[in-house]
Structure 1
Amino acid sequence: MLPYPALHASHGGIWIASEDGTQAVSRGEAIRVAAETPVLLLNAPLAGQRLGYADLSGLDLLELFAFLHPARFAVPTPKGLARVAGLAAPERDEDVAAFLRTATERLLEVPAGDWPEREGAWTSLRSLGRLRWAWTPLLADRIAAPKENERWLFAKLPEWEETAPRAAPRTVTIDAAETADRLARLTGRDAEQRAGQRAFAEGALGAFAPRVARDTPNLVLAEAGTGIGKTLGYLAPASLWAEQAGGAVWVSTFTKALQRQLSAETARLFPDAATRKARVVTRKGRENYVCLLNLEDALQGGFGGRAAVLAQLVARWAAYTADGDMVGGDLPGWLPTLFRRNGSTALTDRRGECVYAGCPHYRKCFIERAARASAEADIVIANHALVMVNAARGRETTTRPQRYVFDEGHHLFDAADAMFSVALTGQETIELRRWLLGPEAGGRGRRRGLAARLTDVASYDELGGRAIADAVEAARGLASDGWLQRLGEGAPFGPIETLLAAVRGLAYARAETGKEADAGYGLETELAEPTPELIEAAGPAAEALDALVRPLVGLGRRLEAVLSESPDWMDAPARARIEGAVASIGWRAETVAAWLSLLSRIGGPATPEFVDWLAVDRVEGREYDIGLHRHWLDPSKPFAETVLKPAHGALVTSATLRGGGDWEVAEARSGARHLLRPATRIEAASPFDYAAQAEVMIVTDVKRGDLGALANAYARLIVAAGGGTLGLFTAIRRLRAVHGRIADRLAREGLPLLAQHVDPIDTGTLVDIFRDDAAASLLGTDALRDGVDVPGRSLRLVVMEGVPWPKPTVLHAARRLEGGGSAYDDRLVRAKLAQAFGRLIRRADDRGAFVLLSAAMPSRLLEAFPAGTPVRRLTLDEAVARVAALPSVGQNVQEAAQDA
Structure 2
Amino acid sequence: MLPYPALHASHGGIWVATPDGEVRGISRGEAIRLAADTPTLVLNAPLVAQRLGYAELSGLDLLELFAFLRPARFMVPTPKGLAAVTGLPVPESDAAVAPFLRDAAAALLAVMEGEWPEREGAWHAAQSLFRLRWTWAPAVTQRLAKPERAERWLFSKLPEWEERAPRPAPRTIAVDGADVVARLDALTGAGAERRHGQRTYAAAAADAFAPRVVRDSPNLVLAEAGTGIGKTLGYLAPASLWSERAGGAVWVSTYTKALQRQLAREGERLFPDEEERKRRIVTRKGRENYVCLLNLEDALQGGFAGRAAILAQLVARWAAYTADGDMVGGDLPGWLPTLFRRNGSTALTDRRGECIYAGCPHYRKCFIERAARASADADLVIANHALVMVNAARGRESATRPTRYVFDEGHHLFDAADAMFSAALTGAEAIELRRWVLGPEAKARGRRRGLAARLSDVASYDDGGAEAIAAAVNAAQALPSDGWLGRINEGAPFGPVETLLAAVRGLVYARAPDAGEAGYGLETELAEPDPGLVDAAGPASAALEALLRPLLALGRRLESVLAEAPDWMDAPARARIEGAIASLGWRAETVGAWLALIARIGGPNDPDYVDWLAVDRVEGREYDVGLHRHWLDPSRPFADTVLKPAHGALVTSATLKAGGDWSVAEARAGAPHLERAPARFEAASPFDYAGQAEVVIVTDVKRGDLAALANAYARLIAAAGGGTLGLFTAIRRLRAVHARIADRLARDGLPLLAQHVDPIDTGTLVDIFRDDSRASLIGTDALRDGVDVPGDSLRLVAMEGVPWPKPTVLHAARRLAGGGSAYDDRIVRARLAQAFGRLIRRADDRGMFVLLSAAMPSRLLTAFPEGTPVLRTTLDEAVERASRLSLARPLGHEAATA
Same fold (TM over 0.5): yes
Task: Tell me the CA shift for residue 567 of structure 1.
Answer: 1.9
The answer on whether the counterparts of 2:659 and 2:827 sit within 8 Å (CA) in structure 1 is no
The equivalent of 1:302 in structure 2 is 303
Any idea what the Cα deviations from partners look like across 1:459-478, whole Å, max 9, x if unmatched? 32112222111111111111
Query: Which one-letter code corresponds to 1:866 in the other structure?
Result: P
- Say whether the 8 Å CA contact 1:660–1:865 is kept in structure 2: no
SS in 2 for 1:515: coil
244-253 vs 462-471, which moves further: 462-471
| Contact 1:724/1:797, CA 8 A, preserved across alignment | yes
Task: Note the C-alpha offset of 1:836.
Answer: 0.1
Q: Deviations over 1:652-680 (max 9, x none)?
A: 00011012221111111111111110110
Q: 2-side partners of 1:532 and 1:614: how far apart? A: 15
Determine helix, strand or coil for the equivalent of 1:695.
strand
Output the CA distance in 1 between the equivalents of 2:677 and 2:622: 46
- Please state whether the residue corresponding to 2:355 is helix, strand or coil: coil
- How far 1:428 moved relative to its partner? 0.8
Q: Using the TM superposition, name which of 808-817 and 878-887 deviates more.
A: 878-887
1:350, distance to aligned residue in structure 2 (A) = 0.5
**Cα-to-partner distance string for 1:809-844 (whole Å, 9 max, x where unaligned):** 000000000000000000000000000000000000
> Within the alignment, does 1:674 sit opposite 2:711 as a pair?
no
Q: 1:862-885: CA deviations, max 9, x gaps?
A: 000000000000000011111112
Q: Deviations over 1:142-188 (max 9, x none)?
A: 11111111113111100000000000000000111111111011101
Instruction: Output one character per residue of 1:6-29: Cα deviation in whole Å (capped at 9) or x when no partner.
Output: 000000110000123200100111
Tell me, yes or no, if the aligned pair for 2:459 and 2:557 is still in contact at 8 Å: no
Corresponding residue for 1:370?
A: 371
* Residue of structure 2 in register with 1:651 after alignment: 650
Distance in 1 between residues matched to 2:698 and 2:342, nearest whole Å: 40
- Verify the 8 A CA contact 2:254 2:408 in the aligned structure 1: yes
Q: Which residue in the other structure is 1:895 paired with?
A: none
Asked if the contact 1:457–1:465 (Cα under 8 Å) also holds between the matched residues in 2, the reply is no
How far does residue 568 in structure 1 lie from its aligned partner after superposition?
2.8
CA distance in 2, matches of 1:544, 1:886: 64
In structure 1, the gaps of 5 or more residues are 893-900
Tell me which residue corresponds to 1:6.
6
In structure 1, the partner of 2:488 is: 487
Residues 640 and 675 of structure 1 are in contact (CA less than 8 Å); yes or no, is this contact kept in structure 2?
yes
After superposition, where does 1:534-549 map in structure 2 within 5 Å? 534-549=533-548
Which letter maps to 1:671? G
1:706: how far off? 0.2
**CA shift for structure 1 position 560:** 0.5
Identical aligned pairs, as a percentage? 79
CA contact (8 A) 2:208 2:649 kept: yes
1:96-124: CA deviation from partner (whole Å, max 9, x where unpaired): 00100111111110011110000000000
**Hey, what does 1:898 align to over in structure 2?**
none
1:137-156 residue pairs with structure 2 within 5 A? 137-156=138-157
Tell me how far 1:137 sits from its aligned partner. 1.2
Give the alignment of 1:79-158 within 5 angstroms: 79-158=80-159
**CA contact 2:421–2:637 (8 Å) conserved in 1:** yes
TM superposition shift of 1:890: 8.7
Separation (CA, whole Å) in 1 of partners of 2:124 and 2:145 = 10
CA distance in 1, matches of 2:8, 2:444: 41
Instruction: State the distance in 2 between where 1:452 and 1:780 align.
Output: 44
Aligned residues of 1:883 and 1:889 also touching (Cα < 8 A): no
2:783 maps to 784
Q: Give 4+ residue runs of structure 1 displaced > 4 Å after superposition.
A: 887-892
Looking at structure 1, the residues matched to 342 and 476 of structure 2 have their Cα atoms a distance apart, in angstroms, of 30
- Residue 458 to residue 201, structure 1, CA distance change in 2 (3 Å): closer
What is the 5 A alignment of 1:702-721? Answer: 702-721=701-720
The aligned amino acid for 1:61 is L
Aligned pair 1:509/2:502, yes or no? Answer: no
Q: Partners of 1:249 and 1:458 in 2: how far apart?
A: 37
In the TM superposition, residue 141 of structure 1 has moved relative to its aligned partner by: 2.0
Give the distance between the partners of 1:30 and 1:660, measured in 2 at CA: 52
What is the CA distance between 1:457 and its match in structure 2?
3.3
Aligned to 1:278: 279
- Aligned position for 2:894: none
* Contact 2:249/2:376 (<8 A) preserved: yes
Post-superposition Cα deviations, 1:36-67, rounded to whole Å, max 9, x if no partner, equal 11010000000111111111111000000000
Give distance in 1, aligned partners of 2:753 and 2:540.
47
Query: 1 CA distance for matches of 2:89 and 2:861?
Result: 46
Matches within 5 A, 1:677-696: 677-696=676-695
Question: Equivalent residue of 1:696, what SS?
Answer: strand
Question: What CA distance in whole angstroms lies between the structure 2 residues aligned with 1:271 and 1:457?
Answer: 46
Question: Which residue identity is paired with 1:884?
Answer: S
Corresponding residue number in structure 1 for 2:451: 450
Amino acid at match of 2:755: Q
- Give the equivalent residue in structure 1 for 2:896: none
Shift of 1:571: 3.0
Residue 830 of structure 1 corresponds to 829
**Does 796-805 or 668-677 show the bigger shift?**
668-677
User: Which residue in 2 is equivalent to 1:409?
Assistant: 410
Q: TM-score w.r.t. structure 1 length?
A: 0.98
Tell me the matched-pair count.
Answer: 890
Within a 5 Å distance, the mapping from 1:379-418 to structure 2 comes to 379-418=380-419
Aligned pairs for 1:18-57 within 5 A: 18=18, 19-57=20-58
Alignment of structure 1 residues 325-724 onto 2, 5 Å: 325-516=326-517, 519-724=518-723
Query: Which amino acid is 1:355 matched to?
Result: I
1:199 and 1:891 mapped to 2: Cα distance? Answer: 30
CA distance in 1, matches of 2:566, 2:717: 71
Kindly report the root-mean-square deviation, in angstroms, between the aligned alpha carbons of the 2 structures: 1.1
- C-alpha distance in 2, partners of 1:718/1:735? 15
d(CA) in 2 for partners of 1:6, 1:396: 53
- In structure 2, how many angstroms separate the alpha carbons of the residues matched to 1:126 and 1:457? 40
Contact 1:721-1:889 within 8 A present in 2 as well: no
Please state how far the C-alpha of 1:357 moved relative to its aligned partner: 0.5
Q: SS at the partner of 1:477?
A: coil
Output the amino acid matched with 1:157.
L
Cα 1:708/1:462, change in 2 over 3 Å = same
Matched, 1:221 2:222: yes
Q: Is the 8 A contact 1:259 1:381 kept in 2?
A: yes
Deviation at residue 526 of structure 1 after TM alignment: 0.3
TM-score calculated relative to the size of structure 2: 0.98
CA contact (8 A) 2:304 2:446 kept: no
Q: 1:889, CA displacement in angstroms?
A: 7.3
Distance 1:121 1:94 in 2: 34
Contact 1:251 1:406 (8 Å CA) reproduced: yes
Match of 1:231 in 2: 232
CA 784–164 in structure 1, closer or farther in 2 if over 3 Å, else same: same
Counterpart of 1:3, as a letter, is P
Between stretches 654-663 and 61-70, larger displacement belongs to 654-663
Question: Cα distance, 1:341 vs. partner?
Answer: 4.5
- 1:138 deviates by 1.0
User: Is the counterpart of residue 860 in structure 1 residue 873 in structure 2?
Assistant: no
Change over 3 Å in CA distance of 1:77–1:721 after alignment to 2: same
- What do the CA deviations read for 1:495-547 (whole angstroms, capped 9, x no partner)? 1011101001000100012432xx21111000000001100100111111111
- Whether the 8 Å contact between 2:691 and 2:890 is mirrored in structure 1 is no
Give 2:175's aligned residue. Answer: 174
CA distance in 2, matches of 1:589, 1:889: 62
Which amino acid in structure 2 is aligned with residue 823 of structure 1? Answer: A
Equivalent-residue separation in structure 2 for 1:188 and 1:341 (angstroms):
48
Does the 8 Å CA contact 1:40/1:58 hold for their aligned counterparts?
yes
Q: Residue 896 of structure 1 corresponds to which residue in structure 2?
A: none
CA distance in 2, matches of 1:210, 1:626: 49
Counterpart CA distance in 2 for 1:140 and 1:514 is 56
| Counterparts in 2 of 1:458 and 1:382: CA distance versus 1, 3 Å | closer
**Distance (Å, rounded) in 2 between the aligned partners of 1:891 and 1:480:** 63
**Equivalent position amino acid for 2:748 in 1:** E
Give the Cα separation in 1 of the matches to 2:708 and 2:79. Answer: 33
| 1:799 and 2:798 correspond | yes
Task: Kindly provide the amino acid, as one letter, of the partner of residue 589 in structure 1.
Answer: A
Find the aligned partners of 1:153 and 1:549 in 2 and give their Cα distance.
40
- 1:876 aligned residue: 875
